[in-house]
Amino acid sequence: MRTYEELFIVNTSATDSGVVQTEKAWTINKPADELYRFWRDFTNLPQFMKHLEAVTVLDERRSHWVARAPVGMTVEWDAEIVDERPNELIAWRSLPGAQVENSGSVRFVPAPGNHGTEVRVRLEYKPPAGAVGVAIAKLLREEPTQQVEGDVRRFKQLMEAGELPTNEGQPAGGKRAKQ
């Protein structure tokens, strides 16, 4: 039986067409409507998605995304919402001309026993450099399926604590131990 704080990896796989799919979920001790409202304001996403530099909302359904890529590069794309159910679901896909074709969804489902909301993120993307690009990105810890796990964890921290923990300004343990 899962506890409400447990992360679970639902699926990560590659299809025959080279599309990488991943799904991650985390239960967050907040109501679905609050989580949905925060996420739906896409300009909030760079607060907890470390790989995102910016999201610009173009209109009610379209947005422009800029993300950091391996070796100091950036990638950009426009996306559109293809399905939306307030407080339940946001689904998107990149528009033609995207540097990285992608699609996905985020679902907000009441958790069992009234223990908050299960946030389930599904992502599919086609790596521009194929399997080699995926391998390099994994080595650099910049592969999107790895990033999704950290994103969902940071979203939980931000929503429950109101801030993201940091060790900035704290002495490094190794240096203190040697003194």
**The CATH homologous superfamily of the domain defined by 7-40+81-162:** START domain (3.30.530.20)
What is the rounded average pLDDT for all residues in the chain? 78
In this predicted model, what pLDDT tens digit does every residue of 54-97 receive, in sequence order?
999 999 999 999 988 766 778 899 999 999 999 999 999 999 99
**Band of pLDDT at residue 102, cut at 50, 70 and 90:** confident
DSSP states of 110-163: EPGGG--EEEEEEEEEE-TTHHHHHHHHHHTT--HHHHHHHHHHHHHHHHHHSS
The C-alpha angle 98, 101, 104, rounded to 5 degrees, equals 120
In the chain, where the domains are located: 7-40+81-162
Contacts of 65 (CB under 8 A, 6+ apart): 52, 54, 55, 76, 77, 78, 79
- Mean pLDDT check: name the lowest of 3-7, 87-91, 138-142: 3-7
Closest CA to 108 of 82, 124, 92, 85: 85
Proportion of the chain above pLDDT 90, given as a percent: 46
pLDDT value at residue 32: 97
Q: Look at residue 123 in the predicted model and tell me its pLDDT.
A: 87
Find the mean pLDDT for residues 152-171.
81
Given this model, what pLDDT does residue 84 score?
98
What percentage of the chain exceeds 70 in pLDDT?
A: 68
- How far CA 93 is from CA of 32, 130, 136, in Å, comes to 23, 19, 24
Q: If pLDDT is split at 50, 70 and 90, which confidence band does 168 have? A: low
For the four alpha carbons of 44, 49, 54 and 55, in that order, the dihedral sign comes to: negative
